[in-house]
């Protein structure tokens, strides 16, 4: 079995930003400002795919930090409001409920945080996804 691919995998890398994208088949030219990278072996394709995943995770991390920055202000306001309700509760049962709610408030996972990985279809099959 030959280590070379019959159908070459193509990536495009932006010449200014260095952003890597999956490209069209080999016979199509790269768009303006992009460099075409043709992978002849599976190992080479996996290396470029790994670089693309690293870029995606960095981009995702930045996006999550921006979201967290926005949400932190709202969380502080909600905490303050719940604390106010707890102090002014009519009975001990409501006060205890709100105290417990505040206790668990920060332990809840953020539903907006994303964690994903993209693979070439051949890699995903190998990784069991």
> What residues contact residue 40 under an 8 Å CB cut-off, 6+ apart?
4, 5, 8
Q: How many domains does the chain divide into?
A: 1
* Percent of the chain topping pLDDT 70: 83
pLDDT in tens, 29-71: 999 999 999 988 888 888 998 999 999 989 988 988 888 888 8
* Lowest mean pLDDT segment, chosen from 4-8, 37-41, 72-76: 4-8
Domain encompassing residue 67: 4-126
Q: Give, rounded to a whole angstrom, the gap between the first and last alpha carbons of the chain.
A: 25
Whether 5 has a pLDDT exceeding 80, the answer reads no
């Amino acid at each position: 079995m030959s280590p070379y691919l019959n159908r070459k995998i193509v990536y495009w890398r932006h010449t200014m930003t260095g952003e890597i994208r999956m490209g069209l088949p080999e016979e199509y030219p790269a768009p303006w400002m992009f460099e075409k990278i043709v992978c002849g072996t599976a190992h080479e394709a996996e290396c470029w795919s790994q670089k693309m995943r690293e870029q995606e995770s960095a981009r995702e991390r930045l996006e999550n930090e921006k979201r967290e920055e926005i949400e932190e202000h709202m969380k502080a306001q909600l905490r303050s409001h719940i604390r106010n309700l707890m102090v002014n509760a009519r009975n001990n049962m409501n006060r205890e409920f709100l105290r417990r709610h505040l206790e668990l408030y920060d332990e809840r996972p953020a539903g907006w945080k994303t964690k994903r990985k993209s693979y070439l279809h051949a890699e995903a099959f190998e990784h069991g996804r």
